[in-house]
């Protein structure tokens, strides 16, 4: 019997080599039929255990009944228990080398009990019938660099709650979240981690079950339905993924077989004091098999379109976010974590080999080069990186009184010196509106009207700046209060005119972004951007965003002052008749109505180092965008700000 349930020699070799990238099909609990008998096959890696048993309700949690067999010196234990079925609760009872007994959840469990309970649950995949074939086929052929990408970051536990305070289920969210995302003009949803975690307040970033969908919101099939419905409605789904560290809860991965198994044995490298967690040991090939398999698992079984990979800086740099009295170094004397770097390269190579249309987005906060560069050129191999430097600078700038902004132009313009060094996503994420950092609206200076005008300007500049986009949930409502993870969003704000008008603005801006190819077609190429005026004398920036086709460009005018500028001359690169296609100062957005109506003919008068120029009205604390007039393009018809 042991021969029939044991992993093959090839599986064992690949697992210990760090290349068993479908290890979830080998390890964990799998309902099978052996010799005509139905039951469950269990496989677990615990090389330093003296004894491992499977325990559950079926044996009164008594480890003396179902002892597992060890496969020679591989450190892998197996057992087939006849009669067990899907839905059984179980754990591994492990006797350590020090004769202590620990009860552990299955590292490869596909489902788990609802917190605070911690048992794993036997689950069989294959019962869900997917209907997203068109999306999956198109994704495999897609080129994300030349398409609009506007991500709505969501924490499922606080987006919306039922009247009695209960959480929405995955199916509830499919019915309400998807229409909201469509109505507001987003292309993708990014879900904060949905892997099983014990503490709600960790928001999913401190995980115990990397393969286990959290049961807070329903079953694996319920989440499949959510993803399926997203895809059928043309919305991509990304997951936050946390391969850097894991929590210390006793039933989790920490000290799994009594030793430092998944974490590094050196506590200086195996622990993250700032987070109170363990760091994965990327030097162990089995850990590499576990983690890369985990990424592929979510893409295979849940049709996930990609990942935002959390805390990459803390993975690749030994001393990042690791306040120790001594500086850690590698074998060459540097601070690079060579094993983690190798892991990330292998991860991205493997994902893109199997899923070429995937999105792999790094949350990386340092000046590490080539994060989105190909691995054969020395890069980490991601296709996107969060531009956290841009977020830090623009928020510092926007917090300034408009009269002070003229003295800090670098905060506004420095990002253009490196905007094309990586493939960037510009993220206004949950990190920017929590822990006393204030909401985006409350960061804005000035009186009530100016706060909203500044926020409209910020969002407009965000859309016009090179790079793909991410906006945290609730930002479309303009809350004054920062995010509260134990409460739902402030939906009541839509009853107030200023917030309702801001929401109308966000919807219009998002649709305008998607409809305007010059704002995203060449996001990652220098040819997609051009300066017209960046002297900043009047707190006004003027630049162009360009598409692929000749003549496909728009002129962006951003006024970071409270002044209205009439008869304001700007240089333009070509002759013709121009119209205003977007203006944040429209009445329906809550603005003062300083618009440019009708066509404006370019004059053959050089200005701003351009051969032509024209005079416009520049709205206060506003953004105005101009394009050449065509028969189809007649101004703000489709993005009405009046």
Q: Are 126 and 46 in contact (CB under 8 A)?
A: no
Which tokens is 121 given? 């649950």
Q: Are 152 and 159 in contact (CB under 8 A)?
A: no
Catalytic residue, from 88, 363, 422, 580: name it.
363
C-alpha torsion sign, points 323, 326, 328, 334 = positive
Q: Are 88 and 190 in contact (CB under 8 A)?
A: no
Question: Edge to edge, what strands does the sheet with 37-45 contain?
Answer: 28-34, 37-45, 76-82, 69-70
Three-class secondary structure of residue 543 per DSSP: strand
Q: Which of 104, 65, 96, 98 is nearest to 82 (CA)?
A: 65
Q: Which of 579, 569, 572, 556 is nearest to 615 (CA)?
A: 569
- Count H helices and E strands in the chain, helices first: 16, 30
Q: Which of 176, 308, 174, 151 is nearest to 228 (CA)?
A: 174
Q: Based on the number of CB atoms within 10 Å of its own CB, is 437 exposed (0-12), middle (13-18) or buried (19 or more)?
A: middle
Of how many residues is the chain composed? 642
Q: Are 198 and 209 in contact (CB under 8 A)?
A: no
C-alpha torsion sign, points 123, 125, 130, 135 = positive
Residues 6+ apart with CB under 8 A from 537: 406
Compute how many other C-beta atoms are within 10 angstroms of the C-beta atom of residue 407: 10
Question: How far apart, in Å, are the Cα atoms of 613 and each of 220, 547, 552?
Answer: 59, 21, 18
Give the burial string for 511-544 (b: 16+ CB within 10 Å, else e): ebbbebbbbbbbbbeeebbeebbeebeebbbbbb
Q: Is 86 a catalytic residue?
A: no
Q: Based on the number of CB atoms within 10 Å of its own CB, is 631 exposed (0-12), middle (13-18) or buried (19 or more)?
A: exposed
Q: Is 222 a catalytic residue?
A: no
Q: Which of 395, 303, 394, 402 is nearest to 354 (CA)?
A: 303
Which tokens is 616 given? 């416009």
Catalytic residue, from 310, 393, 422, 490: name it.
310
Quickly tell me which residue has 């919101």 as its tokens: 217
Beta pairing, strands 236-241 & 188-191: parallel
Percent composition of the chain: helix, strand, coil (DSSP 3-state, to 5): 30, 25, 45
Instruction: State the Cα–Cα distance between residues 532 and 543, nearest whole angstrom.
Output: 5
**What is the C-alpha R_g of the chain?**
27
First to last CA, the chain: 76
Instruction: State the Cα–Cα distance between residues 392 and 395, nearest whole angstrom.
Output: 6
Q: Which helix (H) or strand (E) holds 45?
A: strand 37-45
Instruction: State the Cα–Cα distance between residues 16 and 26, nearest whole angstrom.
Output: 13
Which tokens is 520 given? 């995203």
Quickly tell me which residue has 């004894």 as its tokens: 51
Which tokens is 237 given? 């789904």
Catalytic residues: 310, 363
């Amino acid at each position: 019997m042991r021969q029939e349930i044991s992993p093959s020699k090839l599986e064992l070799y690949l697992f210990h080599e760090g290349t068993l990238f479908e290890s979830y099909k080998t390890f964990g609990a799998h309902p099978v039929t052996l010799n005509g008998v139905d039951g469950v096959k269990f496989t677990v890696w615990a090389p330093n255990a003296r004894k491992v048993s499977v325990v559950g309700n079926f044996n009164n949690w008594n480890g003396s009944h179902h002892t597992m067999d060890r496969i020679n010196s591989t450190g892998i234990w197996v057992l087939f228990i006849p009669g067990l079925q899907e839905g059984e609760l179980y754990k591994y009872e492990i006797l350590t080398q020090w004769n202590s007994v620990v009860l552990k959840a299955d590292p490869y469990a596909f489902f788990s009990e609802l917190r605070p309970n911690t048992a794993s649950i036997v689950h069989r995949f294959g019962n869900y019938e997917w209907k997203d074939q068109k999306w999956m086929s198109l994704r495999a052929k897609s080129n994300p660099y030349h398409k609009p990408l506007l991500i709505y970051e969501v924490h499922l536990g606080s987006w919306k709650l039922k009247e009695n305070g209960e959480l929405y289920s995955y199916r509830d969210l499919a019915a309400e979240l998807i229409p909201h995302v469509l109505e507001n003009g987003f292309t993708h949803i990014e879900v904060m981690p949905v892997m099983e975690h014990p503490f709600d307040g960790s928001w999913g970033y401190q995980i115990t079950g990397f393969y286990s969908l959290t049961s807070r919101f329903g079953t694996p099939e319920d989440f499949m339905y959510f993803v399926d419905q997203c895809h059928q409605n043309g919305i991509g789904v990304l997951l936050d993924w946390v391969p850097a560290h894991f929590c210390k809860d006793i039933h989790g991965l920490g000290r799994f077989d009594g030793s430092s198994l998944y974490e590094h044995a050196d506590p200086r490298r195996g622990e993250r004091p700032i987070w109170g967690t363990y760091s994965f040991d990327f030097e162990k090939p089995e850990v590499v098999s576990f983690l890369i398999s985990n990424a592929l698992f979510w893409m295979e079984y849940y049709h996930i379109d990609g990942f935002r990979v959390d805390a990459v800086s803390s993975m690749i740099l030994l001393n990042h976010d690791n306040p120790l009295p001594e500086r850690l170094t590698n074998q060459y004397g540097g601070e690079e974590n060579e094993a983690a770097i190798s892991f990330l390269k292998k991860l991205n190579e493997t994902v893109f080999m199997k899923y070429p249309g995937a999105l792999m987005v790094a949350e990386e906060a340092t000046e590490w080069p080539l994060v989105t560069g190909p691995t054969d050129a020395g890069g980490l191999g991601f296709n996107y990186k969060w531009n956290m430097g841009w977020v830090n600078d623009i928020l510092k700038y926007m917090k300034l009184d408009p009269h002070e902004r003229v003295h800090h132009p670098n905060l506004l313009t420095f990002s253009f010196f490196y905007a094309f060094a990586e493939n960037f996503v510009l993220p206004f994420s949950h990190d920017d509106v929590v822990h006393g950092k204030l909401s985006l609206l409350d960061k804005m200076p000035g009186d009530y009207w100016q706060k909203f005008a500044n926020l409209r300007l910020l969002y407009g500049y965000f859309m016009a700046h090179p790079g793909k986009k991410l906006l945290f949930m609730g930002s479309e409502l303009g809350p004054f209060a920062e995010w509260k993870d134990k409460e739902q969003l402030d939906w009541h704000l839509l009853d107030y005119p200023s917030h309702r008008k801001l929401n109308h603005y966000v919807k219009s801006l998002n649709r305008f972004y998607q409809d305007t190819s010059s704002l995203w077609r060449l996001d990652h190429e220098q040819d997609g951007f051009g300066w017209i005026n960046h002297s900043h004398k009047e707190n006004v920036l003027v630049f162009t965003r360009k598409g692929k086709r000749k003549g496909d460009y728009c002129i962006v005018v951003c006024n970071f002052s409270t002044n209205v500028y009439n008869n304001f001359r700007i240089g333009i690169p070509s002759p013709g008749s121009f119209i205003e296609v977007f203006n944040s100062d429209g009445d329906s957005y809550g603005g003062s109505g300083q618009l440019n109506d009708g066509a404006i003919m370019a004059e053959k008068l050089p200005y701003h180092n351009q051969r032509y120029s024209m005079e416009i009205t520049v709205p206060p604390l506003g953004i105005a965008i101009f394009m050449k007039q065509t028969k189809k393009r007649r101004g703000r018809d489709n993005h009405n700000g009046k």
